[in-house]
Structure 1
Amino acid sequence: MPALPVLYERRGPVAHLTMNRPRYRNAQNSAMTYALDDAFYRAADDPEVKVLVLSGAGDHFSAGHDIGTPERDAHLPFERRAGLWWDHSDKAGAESRYARESEVYLGMCRRWRELPKPVIASVQGACVAGGLMLAWVCDLIVASEDAYFADPVVRMGIPGVEYFAHPWVMPPRIAKEFLYTGDPMSAQRAYEVGMVNRVVVRDELAASTEELALRIASMPRLGLALTKRAVNQAEDLQGLHAGMDSVFGLHHLAHAHNAETAADPLGGMDIAAMKKASTS
């Protein structure tokens, strides 16, 4: 029996959601994305849950979207939940890619950001590309000292991942360097630029995150929900929502350009090519 792509456990007032594809550094296929959606809904509906913790099994939080594991399932249909775009699986070209990514990337992440309970990301090892999206929808990020953050998709000719929060989670000039180089950012540097709340030693990551979650869980549920909504609204007034819409269009312009001029919509950059580029 295959392992569940997401594990769910409630410990008192804290729901723990754990991405469970450690063999592939928790690369996100559609099965994992929809399992995460189920887990977020479950926690949202449980009156005993006050706070959620999102983590990754194994050595890494998430290496990003699944672009080449044996369980890659981008071509398969799933029941759509995040928007009203049609099924992508029987379409071609931009009509397929835009519909799918509107659903599983931008749409899912936006909805998870609005979950009216605090969510804490507990990050170790790689938090890359699509992994950033999952960490950024969380309200707080606790990172271990060995964690690193990167968005290398400019190597594909694409201006960042679909949930384009870069200029809001870090200063614009830092965001430009982060994207232009594709270089990994250490946990300490991420803390210095305000992207991460706390940096702890690896052995203390789980306990430190749990301690923070329990402290927050002692606050009134409605007070937490309204406070989260207030800060999210402030971000949106600073242009986050509209900015993501505009960059999502640029993202798909890049995919279309690659499809016409390169080997595929990813510019020919498969897992091996991306790994080689990031270490050269």
Structure 2
Amino acid sequence: MPADDSAAPVLHERRGPAAYVTMNRPRYRNAQNSAMTYALDEAFYRAADDPEVKVIVLAGAGEHFSAGHDIGTPGRDAHLPFERRAGLWWDHSTRTGAESRFARESEVYLGMCRRWRELPKPVIASVQGACVAGGLMLAWVCDLIVASEDAFFADPVVRMGIPGVEYFAHPWAMPPRIAKEFLYTGDRMSARRAYEIGMVNRVVGRESLEAETDRMALRIAEMPGFGLALTKRAVNQAEDLQGLHAGMDSVFGLHHLAHSHNAETAADSLGGMNVAAMKEANG
């Protein structure tokens, strides 16, 4: 896969009944900037609208699925305006402080992830290497996760004084006590452990990841498309009745309280934890 910044941040390809959406910033471990977020939205919309597509695969080019939100690459574009699609909050680039952060993250993080979770076709995450913080959000909006043996999962943002990433699915993706340990320590969870707690559907060798994901996608594609859409909606509704939607709303407020506290008491809204500091802290 190309590693040039001039390359498209997301690639889209259809193979038979499956659409493959691939994050394409491998030089930066597929760190998610706004350009990538909106390119993902476009690719998902295209796949949802294609009557030939029965199932979608989300993957990451290179060694890692995604290292999370872009907090320090040359392509970081948090200050730039984009055409809003996931909500009616105003253009964050024209505001400052908490007003700007809340508007932007309502759109590009919580709003986009909720939009993608409701895509009426099954989505499979194909995960290798790092799936960290914002990368977790991308995996968790998918219906199924196939992981390579070298994949690992982590949400280390408590080091920033922030109670987890914006799309707070932790207590639904894993048992609550495991979620607390996951957040309190910021430690990496192996693919095997993620499988044991039910967060991952299958774990395979890195060399078999693409083939196993393909097999699963083609098996699912044998089912009637409308039946798949209704089944996905049924399970999502059950999760929402268990509090997922309302829980995310409440934690999103806590998340922004933490950002604002950091902005008042630390170097910035991330508590002064830049890429280098986070990397050193998490090993």
Give the TM-score, by structure 2 length. Answer: 0.98
Letter in 1 for 2:80: L
Please report how far the alpha carbon of residue 154 of structure 1 lies from its aligned counterpart in structure 2 after TM superposition: 0.1
In 2: Cα distance, 1:50 partner to 1:267 partner: 43
1:64-213 pair list within 5 angstroms: 64-213=68-217
SS at the partner of 1:75?
Answer: coil
Match of 1:271 in 2: 275
Please report how far the alpha carbon of residue 11 of structure 1 lies from its aligned counterpart in structure 2 after TM superposition: 0.2
In 1: Cα distance, 2:43 partner to 2:276 partner: 32
SS at the partner of 2:27?
Answer: helix
SS at the partner of 2:12?
Answer: strand
Is 1:217 aligned with 2:217? Answer: no
What value does the CA root-mean-square deviation take over the aligned residues? Answer: 0.5
In 1: Cα distance, 2:218 partner to 2:6 partner: 32
Q: Structure 1 runs of 4+ off > 2 angstroms?
A: none
SS at the partner of 1:142?
Answer: strand
SS at the partner of 2:92?
Answer: coil
Please report how far the alpha carbon of residue 273 of structure 1 lies from its aligned counterpart in structure 2 after TM superposition: 0.3
Match of 1:230 in 2: 234
Please report how far the alpha carbon of residue 152 of structure 1 lies from its aligned counterpart in structure 2 after TM superposition: 0.1
Please report how far the alpha carbon of residue 90 of structure 1 lies from its aligned counterpart in structure 2 after TM superposition: 1.3
In structure 2, runs of 5+ residues without a counterpart are none
In 2: Cα distance, 1:193 partner to 1:149 partner: 13
Match of 1:256 in 2: 260
In 2: Cα distance, 1:24 partner to 1:275 partner: 13
Letter in 1 for 2:138: L
In 1: Cα distance, 2:211 partner to 2:123 partner: 16
C-alpha offsets along residues 230-249 of structure 1, whole Å, 9 cap, x if unaligned? 00000000000000000000
Letter in 2 for 1:237: L
SS at the partner of 1:52?
Answer: strand
Q: How high is the sequence identity, in percent, across the aligned residues?
A: 86
Give the TM-score, by structure 1 length. Answer: 0.99
SS at the partner of 2:84?
Answer: coil
In 2: Cα distance, 1:2 partner to 1:262 partner: 35
Please report how far the alpha carbon of residue 181 of structure 1 lies from its aligned counterpart in structure 2 after TM superposition: 0.2
In structure 1, runs of 5+ residues without a counterpart are none
Letter in 1 for 2:274: D
In 2: Cα distance, 1:90 partner to 1:115 partner: 30
Letter in 2 for 1:272: A
Please report how far the alpha carbon of residue 57 of structure 1 lies from its aligned counterpart in structure 2 after TM superposition: 0.1
Letter in 1 for 2:216: L
SS at the partner of 1:89?
Answer: helix
Q: 2:23 aligns with which of 15, 19, 22?
A: 19
Letter in 2 for 1:39: A
In 2: Cα distance, 1:196 partner to 1:228 partner: 17
